C-alpha cells in the first residue's frame, strides 16, 4: 500500500524534498536576512553603555601615530563583562592591517591579541592570556601600559600580573610573574598598535561581538607608571573620570556621561568621537574571503566545515533523484553538483552584505563537496536497489 502511494506521488514527494532541502539551506545560510538593530543602550543608573548580542561603537576618525616611529601607549578600560562571555572588547583597525591589536574576553580571561606576519609571510593572530580578570557580576578596571621594554597589565589599580616582552631577531619571549604564560611564541604588543580607527564591543570582522557594560575608556600616548595607574583608578571609580595631567599625553577620554544620543564625545578634545550606529555594522566586511586566510587548526573551524558539508548532502541527494527519476536526465549528478555550487555561491555573495555572516570561499568548497556526497549517496542507494530488484526477479523466475 505504501509502495503504491510512493510510486503514484513520486513527482510530488521528490519536489517537496527538493524545496525543503533548498529552503533549509537558505534559511541556515542567510538568517536573519537583514542587519539587526545595534544592541547598544545607555545605562540608566550610571554613566556607561550596555552592549547586547550584536552591539558595536566605532570611532569617527583615526588616532594619530606612525608605525615607523612607535611611541609608548596605554589603555584604560572600566567595564563589567557578562558571565562566561567571549568577544572583542576593544579593537584597533587599519585598512592594511584589519586585526592589528585587540583586547578580548575569553570566559573569565583577558586576552591581548595581535596580528603579526610569520616567517612565511602569512599573518598569524597571536595572544597573551591574563587569567581570571573578569569575575562574575563584578566590574573590572583594566590598564594596559606599554613601552619599548615591555607591557604591564594592571587590574583595579593593582599589578597582579606583569607581562614583559623580550624580543630578538628570531623570537620573542613573554613572561608573567617570572613564568611563561599561555601564549603563542612571537607575540609582541608594540605601541604602534594603538593607532588608526578603533571599535568598542566588537571586532572589525564578523563574529567578534562582546556583551557587557563599558563605563569608561581612555587612551594615552605614554607609558603610565604604577602610581599614575593607581591615581587614575581611584579618581575614575570615585568621581567618574580620571585625574589626568599633561604628562599623561591623553589621546582619548570617554567617560560615557552623555546618557543619550548617538555620539560619545572625546573629553580630551582631540576630536576623535565615538559613533553608535542605529543598525549593527561590521567595519571590515570581507567578500568571498580566500580559503587560505580562513584556515585554522581550531576545533571550531573543522566542526563548522563538517556542518557545511553535511548541510548540502540532502540537497545533493534530493535533486539528483529528481533530475534522474523525474526529468530523466542522463547527467543528473553533474547538474546537481553545478546547482549546489551555484546555490552556495549565491549564499556567499549575499552574506557579503550581512554583518552577522561570513562570506568566504571555504564554505563554497565544503558546500560543493557536500552536494557531491549527496549525489554519491543517491547513486549508491540506486545501485543497491537495482541489485536487490534483479535478485528478487531471479528468485521469482
Query: From CA 383, how far away is CA 31, in angstroms rounded?
Result: 37
At 70-90, the pLDDT tens digits run: 578 899 999 999 877 889 999
Angstrom CA distances, 166 to 101, 150, 381, stand at 18, 7, 62
Band of pLDDT at residue 65, cut at 50, 70 and 90: low
Q: Please name the residues in contact with 108: beta carbons below 8 A apart, sequence gap of 6 or more.
A: 84, 131, 132, 133, 134, 135
At 113-146, the pLDDT tens digits run: 876 555 555 556 667 778 888 876 789 999 988 8
β-bridge partners, 153: 144, 161
Angle between helices 332-351 and 10-30 (to 10 degrees): 30
Band of pLDDT at residue 157, cut at 50, 70 and 90: confident
* Alpha-helical segments (H) within 188-250: 226-239
**pLDDT on residue 174:** 41
51-86 core/surface letters (b: 16 or more CB in 10 A; e: else):
bbebbbbbbeeebebeeeebbbbbbbbbbbbbeebb
Tell me the pLDDT of the chain averaged across its residues. 82
Higher pLDDT, 269 or 282: 282
Instruction: At 223, list the grid cell.
Output: 607609558
pTM of the entire structure? Answer: 0.79
Q: Please name the residues in contact with 117: beta carbons below 8 A apart, sequence gap of 6 or more.
A: 123, 124
What is the DSSP secondary structure assignment for residue 246, as one 8-state letter?
G
**pLDDT on residue 298:** 75
Q: Given a cut of 70, is residue 67 above it in pLDDT?
A: no
| Residue from 174, 81, 183, 168 nearest 133 by CA | 81
Amino acid at each position: 500500500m505504501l509502495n503504491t502511494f510512493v510510486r503514484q506521488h513520486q513527482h510530488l514527494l521528490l519536489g517537496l524534498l527538493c524545496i525543503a532541502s533548498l529552503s533549509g539551506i537558505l534559511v541556515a545560510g542567510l538568517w536573519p536576512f537583514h542587519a539587526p538593530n545595534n544592541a547598544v543602550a545607555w545605562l540608566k543608573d550610571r554613566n556607561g553603555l550596555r552592549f547586547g548580542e550584536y552591539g558595536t561603537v566605532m570611532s569617527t576618525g583615526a588616532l594619530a601615530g606612525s608605525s615607523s616611529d612607535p611611541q609608548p601607549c596605554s589603555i584604560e578600560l572600566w567595564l563589567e563583562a557578562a558571565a562566561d562571555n567571549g568577544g572583542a572588547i576593544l579593537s584597533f583597525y587599519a585598512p592594511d592591517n584589519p586585526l592589528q591589536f585587540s583586547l578580548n574576553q575569553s570566559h573569565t580571561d583577558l586576552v591581548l591579541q595581535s596580528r603579526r606576519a610569520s616567517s612565511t609571510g602569512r599573518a598569524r593572530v597571536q595572544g597573551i592570556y591574563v587569567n581570571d580578570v573578569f569575575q562574575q557580576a563584578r566590574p573590572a578596571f583594566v590598564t594596559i601600559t606599554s613601552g619599548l621594554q615591555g607591557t604591564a597589565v594592571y587590574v583595579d589599580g593593582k599589578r597582579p600580573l606583569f607581562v614583559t616582552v623580550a624580543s630578538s631577531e628570531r623570537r620573542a619571549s613573554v613572561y608573567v610573574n617570572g613564568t611563561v604564560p599561555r601564549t603563542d611564541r612571537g607575540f609582541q604588543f608594540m605601541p604602534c598598535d594603538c593607532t588608526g580607527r578603533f571599535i568598542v564591543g566588537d571586532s572589525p570582522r564578523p563574529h567578534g561581538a562582546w556583551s557587557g557594560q563599558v563605563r569608561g575608556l581612555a587612551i594615552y600616548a605614554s607609558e603610565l607608571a604604577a602610581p599614575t595607574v593607581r591615581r587614575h583608578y581611584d579618581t575614575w571609580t570615585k568621581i567618574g573620570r580620571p585625574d589626568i595631567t599633561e604628562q599623561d599625553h591623553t589621546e582619548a577620554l570617554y567617560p560615557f556621561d552623555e546618557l543619550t544620543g548617538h555620539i560619545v564625545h572625546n573629553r580630551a578634545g582631540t576630536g576623535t568621537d565615538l559613533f553608535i550606529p542605529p543598525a549593527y555594522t561590521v567595519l571590515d566586511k570581507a567578500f568571498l574571503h580566500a580559503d587560505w586566510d580562513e584556515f585554522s587548526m581550531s576545533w571550531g573551524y573543522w566542526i563548522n566545515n563538517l556542518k557545511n558539508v553535511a548541510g548540502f548532502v540532502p540537497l545533493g541527494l534530493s535533486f539528483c533523484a529528481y533530475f534522474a527519476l523525474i526529468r530523466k536526465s542522463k547527467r543528473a549528478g553533474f547538474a546537481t553538483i553545478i546547482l549546489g555550487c551555484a546555490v552556495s555561491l549565491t549564499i556567499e555573495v549575499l552574506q557579503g552584505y550581512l554583518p552577522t555572516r561570513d562570506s568566504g570561499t571555504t564554505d563554497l568548497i565544503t558546500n560543493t563537496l557536500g552536494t557531491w556526497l549527496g549525489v554519491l549517496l543517491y547513486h549508491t542507494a540506486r545501485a543497491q536497489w537495482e541489485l536487490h530488484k534483479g535478485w528478487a526477479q531471479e528468485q521469482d523466475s
